[in-house]
A and B are shown apart, each in its own frame.
Chain A
Amino acid sequence: MRDRRGFLRTAGGLALAGASGMLAARYALAGELGPAGLPQGTLESSRLESLPGKVPLIKKSWRPPNFETPVRYFEQAFTPNDAFFVRYHLSNIPRVDAASWRLAIAGDAVERPFELTLEQLKREFEIVELPAVCQCSGNRRGLSDPHVPGVEWGYGAMGNALWRGVRLKDVLARARVRKEALEVVFDGADSGVNTATPDFRKSIPVWKALEESTLLAFEMNAQPLPHWNGYPVRLVVAGWTATYWMKHLAAVTVQTQPLKSFWMNPAYRIPKGKFPLVDRFTTQENETSTPITEMVVNSLITNLDRGATARVNDTVEVRGIAWDGGYGIAWVEVSHDGGETWRSAELDRDLGRYAWRQWRYRFQAQMPGTYTVMARASNRVGATQSFDLIFNPAGYHNNVVQRIDVTVS
């Protein structure tokens, strides 16, 4: 039997078919490397390249390595480890030896500082699993209008994984956190090649550090963490953007004072009051800006790209994912007429409040013409995606509703 949906051809499909000539093939390549709204220089310098242990990903920069996951991998509930995006700020990235690895728990706000080996971490604390989206704060920065400097990400500086590790709160309990504690600071093994470069250190509020969903993870998707994703142990701050998910974790410091660091201020800040967010990081706020915290509600169409085509009377399926900062996706509405009318998409299985939710939607392409497909997710605290970019100088929190044209002939 003929699969009607088989008629739907994305630009990538045409390239694979191989019968469409140079123009289609070049078009497909551009689509794989990111959306057309990226800066021209970004599209021209992007390549599909493999880091050791990784499948070909979209190379944004070689050193430090910044590699983006092609959108088609997001058709899966969990993002494969070898396709998971890679993001570093600094170029000196040691290979950490698990046998000699030690995690120091210290600071002026603990009574009993101590050190842990990896074996102790796995043996002496309860092991938990949590499906959660890890998304770079600057995901989609490359679509900012006007463009802003930084790593010019398209849609793929994110992934969903099953994280396995221990609760940070259990480890902190052994160190006996004093009531004066304000922030917990994390340092990883990576650093700048120049000693004058500010070391990448990040802090979170104590209340966030003590949540059930903040983990010291040593596995993702039932495998040890890949080197490029933080081996042997990384922090998981479920619901918050990945800037806090420190890789190659080396030290945890509980402090009575706010962390002063370039990476807390002026980096990773959003203007106050511009985004409808719940979580605040009050010890780092000032009059005009605040650290980025939870992810905004968002969605992504995963099976259509620009240049998608269908034939009259085809059933066109639109598939995608939706996620937020952990309140849970309430519904996803889809339009195939450029936003005139909207219908609810069918939500797939709920994998947990911090995971993304897969969804699907079908429509009949009854007449020839252009069908503009849009998807808009809403969460359980009443937040929804924006139609217009909420501009900010670092290009964070881009959850603008996508528009993808499907040409029906």
Chain B
Amino acid sequence: MRNILLVLALTAGHAFAADESGIRLKDGPGREIVEGNCVMCHSLDYIQMNSPFLDRKGWEAEVNKMIKTMGAPIGEEDARRIVDYLASRYGK
């Protein structure tokens, strides 16, 4: 499922791949999980743009919205690690 979505995301966004691929998130535990999941539907600059003003609760709400409302197929364990990473690297 995830692979199919990733392929769809890459084909839909092919015109931007060169530029979008220049985005570098901060190092930290969980970065690969963030990159692997979030990039399915949107570029990673959404994370940078929304920083650093959300606290852990704020990032948790955003990740929950992506899963529950936007339908991102992210499991509980990955979701927890994504929130950890965002709160520690892009939190206030």
Binding site for B on A (CB under 8 A): 39-42, 44-46, 49, 52, 59-65, 91-93, 146-147, 149-152, 192-198, 262
Contacts and interface: CB of A to CB of B under 8 A. Distances in A.
Interface string B45-56: 110111111100
A197 B70 contact: yes
Name the residue among A62, A91, A150, A192 with the largest chain B CB count within 10 angstroms. A62
B43 A61 contact: yes
B49 A61 contact: yes
Given A39-B49, A41-B50, A52-B15, A194 B42 contact: no
Given A62-B43, A91-B41, A192 B70 contact: yes
A42 to B, nearest CB: 5
Given A92-B12, A93-B12, A39 B40 contact: no
Contacts, number: 95
Contacts of B69: 198, 262
A92 B41 CA distance: 9
B9 interface: yes
B72 A49 contact: no
Contact of A194 (B5, B13, B20, B43): B5
Name the residue among A60, A149, A192 with the largest chain B CB count within 10 angstroms. A149
Nearest to A43: B49
Contacts of A147: 53
Given A149-B62, A194-B5, A197-B41, A61 B15 contact: no
Contact of B20 (A63, A92, A93): A63
A182 to B, nearest CB: 25
B81 to A, nearest CB: 20
A49 B48 CA distance: 17
B85 interface: no
Contacts of A44: 48
Contact of A152 (B8, B19, B50): B50
B60 to A, nearest CB: 12
B13 to A, nearest CB: 5
A63 B54 contact: no
State the main secondary structure of chain A at its contact with B: loop
Given A61-B45, A193-B12, A194-B70, A149 B58 contact: yes
Nearest to A45: B48
Interface string B12-55: 11011001100100000000000000001111011011111110
A198 B70 contact: yes
Interface of B: 5, 8-9, 12-13, 15-16, 19-20, 23, 40-43, 45-46, 48-54, 58, 62, 69-73, 90
Contact of B41 (A150, A151, A193): A193
Contacts of B53: 39, 146-147
B9 A39 contact: no
Contacts of B52: 39-41
Contacts of B42: 61, 63-64, 91
A196 B50 contact: no
Contacts of B23: 45, 62
Nearest to B6: A193
Contacts of A149: 50, 54, 58, 62
B53 to A, nearest CB: 4
Given A49-B19, A91-B41, 9 more contacts: A39-B49, A40-B52, A41-B52, A52-B15, A61-B49, A62-B45, A149-B54, A194-B72, A197-B71
Contact of B40 (A150, A151, A194): A194
A62 B58 CA distance: 23
B40 A193 contact: yes
Contacts of A151: 49
A382 to B, nearest CB: 35
Contact of B9 (A60, A146, A193, A196): A193
A74 to B, nearest CB: 22
Given A62-B16, A63-B20, A91 B51 contact: no
Nearest to A39: B53
Contacts of A42: 48-50
A193 B16 contact: no
Contact of B5 (A49, A65, A193): A193
B16 A65 contact: yes
A360 to B, nearest CB: 34
A398 to B, nearest CB: 16
A196 B8 contact: no
A174 to B, nearest CB: 35
Contacts of B71: 192, 194-198
